[in-house]
Amino acid sequence: MPRYHIITLSILSLLFSLFIYNLQPLSGNKLSEVKEIYIDKGESFSSVSEKLLGEGLIRSARSFRWYGLFSGSAHAIKPGYYRVSPAESAVEITEKFVRGPEDLVTPIIEGLTVKDIDRKLSALGIIPPKGILNLTPKEFIADYPFLNKSLSFEGFLFPDTYRFAPHSDPKLVVRKMLDNFKIKAANQLSAKGKDFYKYLIIASLIEKEVPDVLNDRELVSGIIQKRLDIGMGLQIDVTVLYGKCGGALLTCESLKLSRDDFSIASPYNTYIHRGLPPTPISNPGAHAIYAALNPQKSRYLFYLSDPKTQKTIFSEDFDEHNDNRARYLGL
């Protein structure tokens, strides 16, 4: 073989080895800092390569571009936000861009408030801070008439496990949750006609007050309804807490109520205001809504939760209730 062929092959082999090397992960540490990369609609693969290099995520922008061209991926990448680690190879990063942005799987548990949900989703990078709080039900009434008399989304953001893209439009996030409410709750509540909102409020009280134990929620629902019927104050602690904490229960500085808290001049203070609070105090799940719609009649008029066992303790009269308070709560 002629000498110049050998030299040419050696150079090509060296260049190929360098190319393969440059496709390897920049870091072998799987715990390397993950960075967020945004690919704009119509952005060139060359621009994306330079962006990755500038963030310290790849070894070579040129090798990254070559791989994109050779693999046919350069024209198949999708716009959106991505989380990229220097522990990923150029091949893995490219394949990620071709698949498109990964949704975040986000459980929204029963009993969270709108402010709690807003803060959770913003902390995950799904919406900007106050993304939901800056919206109003009026903007959605055309598609969701059940919001007609609502001042907030409280009660309507149905608990479930959702998939959201990073940096989603808050309106799309709210719509997904309202669609879920429409499918899983609205029809049952609509059967109550004008009392639709009343039962949603009751469901929100039950969700926060009573653990999901067989029959307990239906019994408490019956007690709430009985108190409303006889004009007795509901005297529900969690409504006071909701007012005290401004509807942000997960981040409230103190979830303990003092004696003075029961005198707070809030429309949510069911110790000084008879009837239901003006809005739901949480976003209830299916069972709490079922319990609100199916109150169970009983001889009971009082209840409390044992802090040790979370069991609901029922009482027929005030004297028995006081005995239970002393026994279970030390009051």
Return the CATH fold of 3-99: Dna Ligase; domain 1 (3.30.1490)
pLDDT at residue 1 tops 60:
no
CA-CA distances (angstroms) from residue 13 to 8, 9, 44, 70, 248?
8, 6, 29, 17, 63
Mean pLDDT of 304-311: 83
Classify domain 104-190 by CATH number: 3.30.1490
Mean pLDDT of 304-315: 85
Q: Which residues belong to CATH 3.30.1490.480 in the chain?
A: 3-99
Helix or strand or coil: residue 11?
Answer: helix
Rounded to two decimals, the pTM is 0.82
Q: Tens digit of pLDDT for each residue in 120-160?
A: 999 999 999 999 999 999 999 999 999 988 989 999 999 99
DSSP characters for 266-327?
Answer: -TT-TTTS-S--SS-SS---HHHHHHHHSPPP-S--EEEE-TTT--EEEESSHHHHHHHIII
Q: Tens digit of pLDDT for each residue in 250-275?
A: 888 777 888 888 888 899 999 999 99
Mean pLDDT of 208-226: 91
Question: Residue type at 280?
Answer: P
Q: For residue 2, what pLDDT is reported? A: 66
CA atoms of 210 and 256, how far apart (whole Å) = 17
Q: For residue 254, what pLDDT is reported? A: 76
The long-range contacts involving 299-304, CB below 8 angstroms and separated by at least 24 positions, are 300/219, 300/222, 300/223, 301/223, 301/226, 301/227, 301/232, 302/223, 303/210, 303/219, 303/220, 303/223, 304/328, 304/329
- Give the lowest-confidence range in 225-239, 280-294, 305-319: 305-319
